[in-house]
Structures are given as structure tokens and as C-alpha cells.
Structure 1
């Protein structure tokens, strides 16, 4: 009896210390996609008991035990995993389809039997990113001390969380703003010269992807073009009016000179005849 207890204790210690160390693997997924939590073993042994847990409450969402014929997935207490789980019967890897933000959290795999293993996945689910919208602000065009025209722009997105919105000039970051919680509206201003030939872009990104909107200055800053056109037209009108006045003055002088010349000629003829 004593020898049996010793052997059992030795086997138990070997099993405990022979188990793989629990590791936490971070996984980032876009909402609506599918992903697989890999077991990293080629095949489950006949006597292995495999359990997948979810959340802090450690709800069982999948189980394999070939010895007693168990191969099941579960919906969870609130049904959030209904028709979303696929269990690999050979490796025990778990696939979650059409994932949403409510499926984010901790997933833990425990295998006991001939294989002793524990592995934890920290899954983050990010909503799909919209493409930023660039718009011109009201009263866009203003004159600086150097008389250069400027255009004020605004890049914005709505209903986003855990994102960063940034303005780039070429590959250089000009400005950025971040939000963690859900934001109804997120916007970032930019002022550029109307004649600026540089490449600008507004980028919305989260840890796994980004969306970019490139700036077309000539299309959005048309108010500056109107402003320049108006100023040029006014100046042309003024110049035309001045030219007309000068022309009238010249004509008047010529008429006066002609009349004066004719008057002198008449006096000279009268003098000769007399």
C-alpha cells in the first residue's frame, strides 16, 4: 500500500511538472471575420480530455473526450456562441465564425490525460473602419500677411472606438487624435495653401488595419479659387474704368487742340485778305 501511494505521488508530480506552461497569446480580429484558436498539437490522444473555457466565469464552450464519446460545442449561458463554433475533432483547435465584439475576451484551453496542456488566448475584436471624410469648412479662404490664400479642411469619422485619426503630408505625420471609448464623432482640422502641390492624406487606424482618404486640394478648396477670381475681376474693372477716363481725357485734349488750330488759321486768313 505504501509503495502504491509513493508511485502515485511520483506519477502525479511528473504529470504536474511535465505539463506545458500556460501561455497567453494575444489575438486581434476584425468584426465579422472568422478566426481559429490553434491547439498546436497534431492529434489528441484517446484518453485526453479537452475543454475550452470562455470569460472570467470559465464557461465551457467546447469539449472532446474520445474515451467516452464526447465531442460537443456549447452556446454559452447567454447563447452568444450559437452556430458560431467549429471544433477540429483531431487537433481540438476551435474556430469562431462571424465574430462580434461580444466575443472578445479570454479563451482558455485545458487538456488533461496523457497530454497535459493549458493555453490562454486574449482575443480583441475591432469594428470595421469607415473611410474618413474630408470636407471644407465654412469661410474657407483667408488672406495671410503674405497675401497667400489658405483653405481650412476637416477630416472626420463617426461611431468609432479604439482608433487614431491622423493627417499626413506625404509620409510625415502632421497631427493626430485618438479615442478609446465609442465616439459619436471624431474630427481633425488642417489648413493648407490653395496653391500647395504637396500630397496630403487623412488616415484612420486601429491596431490591425487602416482606412485612408487622400486630399484633392483643387476640388475641395474651390472657394479660394472663387475668391481669387473675384479679386482679379474687380481689379480688371477698375483698370478698364481708368483707361476709359484717360481715353476720354485724351480725346478732349485732341478736340480742343484741333479747334484751337482751326481758330488760329481763320484769324490768319482774315488778316491776309484785309
Structure 2
């Protein structure tokens, strides 16, 4: 009897909390009824949210399928499909479709909790144009910042090979995250910045020789951004000098 009691309790707990389903925004998800076929007297309903809003009703005896697409400000319009077992498919899912879905039949009920995750951005690396030297040695250390914007429920981490160096997490708020890393100049190890959530991840690898190049005159490391700025600045100075010379020549001709 004790074993039967435990099984009954577990069945009730499953009915209350239901199945958890994670899906990426823009994808489709199917909630399976577990039915092999529909019986002639079945009346099947799908409900959504805390208010148990009716979104699907199937009257098998009357061969009638009703999809309530205009409820909840039309958030389910053109997104709901059902198959021969009354399993529900939600297409092109968005964050407003996250929540609890309730299946009701003549003999039982079943619930599903859907969590919708936004697609992750690729982490962007920003390097410092200058590197500092250790006070106790001539070793140079360079700083790089890994950043992502408009993210929620994610972790941002730095890895050295397969070893975790540092990590920062955010819950449900949509914010920007940044995580710094200091590495030795000319370090040959492989570093990577990884953003991940429950179902996906994005990685950007750090190539030290690409981010920094040595500057002979100043003894620090110069990144591509700084090099571009210097090049543009030199070009602007050259244009200004050429304009001045041209103007001076024209002025002299007028005086003659």
C-alpha cells in the first residue's frame, strides 16, 4: 500500500507542475498529449496562462476544431496547429507565449511550462590600446573586455583552454554585460569568451597577436583600432597641408 500511495502522490505532482519545455525564440514547439488516438466522445481543450484562457477546443463527436486566435490581444494568431492526437504546436514562438499550457480531456489533465529564450548575440572583444608592465619584471600585460548587449538569463565567461577563469551572470533583466581579462602579451594560450543560457551558447576566441602589435617607440601594444585612428589622422594632416600649399600657390599667381 505504501508503494501505491507514493505512486499516486508522484502522479499528482506531475499533474500540478507538468513538463518543462525550453525553446529558442522564433522556433516551433510541440506539446504532446500522449494520446494514441481520439475517442468518439472526447472533448479536448487547451488553455493558457494564469487565467486559464481557452485557446483550442476539439469536439471529436461533432468533428469540430475551434481555435481562439483573437484572445489575449491576438498573440496566438496564425501560430497554433493541432494534429490527429490533439498535440499542440506553436510556431514562430515569442516571449509573450511563455507560460503554462493546460491540456484537459474527458479523463485527465496535463500541464506544460514553456520557457522562451532569445537568440544569443556573439560576444564582442574590445582591447585596450596600451599594455602595462609588471613592477617586478619586464613582462607586459594587456587588457581586453568581452561585452554583450540586451541579454537576460545568461552567463558570460572567460576560458583559458577548457578551464574557467571568470564568469558573471544575469537573471531576467535585459541589460548589457562586460567581463574584463588581463593576459600576458605574446601569451600563446587559447582564450575564449562564451555567453550561454539553458539551451544555447555563442563563443568568440581571443587572438592576441591580432589584437595587439608592438610599438617600437613607446614600448606598449597597439591594437588595430589605434592603428586605424593614426592612419586616418595622418591622412587628414596630409590633406590639410596639400590644401594650404594649393591656396598659397594661387595667391602668389594673383599677386603676379
Q: TM-score, normalised by structure 2?
A: 0.77
Is 1:184 the equivalent of 2:175?
yes
Q: Root-mean-square deviation (CA), in Å?
A: 1.5
1:73–1:87 Cα contact (<8 Å) kept: no
1:230 corresponds in structure 2 to 217
1:109 corresponds in structure 2 to 103
Alignment partner of 1:80 out of 75, 78, 99: 75
Q: CA deviation at 1:87?
A: 1.1
Is 1:166 the equivalent of 2:157?
yes
2:127–2:143 Cα contact (<8 Å) kept: yes
1:246 corresponds in structure 2 to none
Gaps of 5+ in 2: 1-7, 220-256
Q: CA deviation at 1:167?
A: 0.2
Alignment partner of 1:97 out of 77, 91, 95: 91
1:141 corresponds in structure 2 to 131
Question: Match of 2:44, SS?
Answer: strand
Q: CA deviation at 1:231?
A: 5.9
More helix, by proportion: 1
Distance 1:213 1:40 in 2: 41
Q: CA deviation at 1:200?
A: 0.3
Distance 1:215 1:62 in 2: 50
1:155 corresponds in structure 2 to 146
Query: How many matched pairs?
Result: 205
Gaps of 5+ in 1: 1-16, 233-274
Mark the CA change 1:160 to 1:82 in structure 2 (over 3 Å): closer, same or farther.
same
Q: CA deviation at 1:85?
A: 0.2
Select the structure of larger CA radius of gyration.
1
Q: TM-score, normalised by structure 1?
A: 0.72
My pick for the range that moved more, 65-74 or 195-204, is: 65-74
Distance 1:184 1:25 in 2: 29
